[in-house]
Amino acid sequence: MSPAWEGSNSLSPYLVPGLGIRRAGTPQAFSAPDDSPSFALLDVGWLKAGPAGRLKGPRKASDHAELRGIHDIDWTLEAGGFAEFWPIEKFRLRVEARHGFLGHHGNVVDVSADWIERRGPWTVSFGPRMSAGDTRYMDQVFGVTAQDALINGSLPAYRAGGGMKSAGVSGAISYEWSKAWTTTIYADYRRLVGSAGASPITAGLGSRDQFTFGAIAAYSFDWPGL
């Protein structure tokens, strides 16, 4: 369950598949539920880095009555890279930088930190989150054009500027039932700030407080061919 659109005050359900590959016999590496899909080309233990990408769904005024007159945003593929730093075994710092295609053509940066506790089959993680975007991204997502304002009739025109977009916290609890099955539940809270929080779309039609709740069921198996 996540915001129906970025800045919305209502939640919508969605289902997302996932895939991970690791060398047979090695334990599953830690990954937070809000990490973008990524692949580590560099892995020296305390430092991991490689490509990362994220697919975002569209925002259509026809699907949400409150967005009447506001410009649509198409499906967006964000592609870029990530770097993870592990100063100690229980602490991870991760930075992602991605560029948007189709839906927006701006740049976004996500920074996260996680404290990880492992106790037998249990893994608990939690930590702060921060996101930022440049003007091209922020204005596409949170801006209101003169045409938008004219058609909507209740919102003023607004140009969103680049800078910090949100700050919050995320946490997850995982349980390893067997070598094959693992389940995870997680929750995420973000507060929209800067021009994202001041946008008429957020303040007038949605909410600065953004919540996400989810559950994951993962099945691991050996593939002799690899």
| Mean pLDDT calculated for residue range 6-27 | 86
Q: How confident is the model at residue 20 (pLDDT cuts 50, 70, 90)?
A: confident
Q: How confident is the model at residue 17 (pLDDT cuts 50, 70, 90)?
A: confident
Q: How confident is the model at residue 67 (pLDDT cuts 50, 70, 90)?
A: very high
Q: Residue 226: what pLDDT? A: 64
Give the CA distances from residue 158 to residues 7, 72, 151, 200, in Å, rounded to whole numbers and listed in that order: 15, 16, 14, 7
Domain ranges of the chain: 2-14+43-219
Top-confidence residue, 5 or 18: 5
Question: In angstroms, rounded to a whole number, what is the distance separating the alpha carbons of residues 17 and 34?
Answer: 13
| Mean pLDDT calculated for residue range 36-56 | 93
Angle 148-151-155 (CA atoms, 0-180°, nearest 5)? 60
pLDDT digits (tens, 9 = 90+) for 90-117: 999 999 999 999 889 999 999 999 999 9
Q: Is 214 exposed, middle or buried (0-12, 13-18, 19+ CB in 10 A)?
A: middle
pTM of the model: 0.90
Q: Is the pLDDT of residue 225 over 80?
A: no
| Mean pLDDT calculated for residue range 33-51 | 93
Give the position of tokens 């916290």.
169
Q: Residue 160: what pLDDT? A: 96
Q: Is the pLDDT of residue 26 over 80?
A: no
What rounded mean pLDDT belongs to the chain?
94
| Mean pLDDT calculated for residue range 146-161 | 94
Q: How confident is the model at residue 29 (pLDDT cuts 50, 70, 90)?
A: confident
Checking DSSP bridges between strand 181-192 and strand 122-133, what pairing results, if any? unpaired
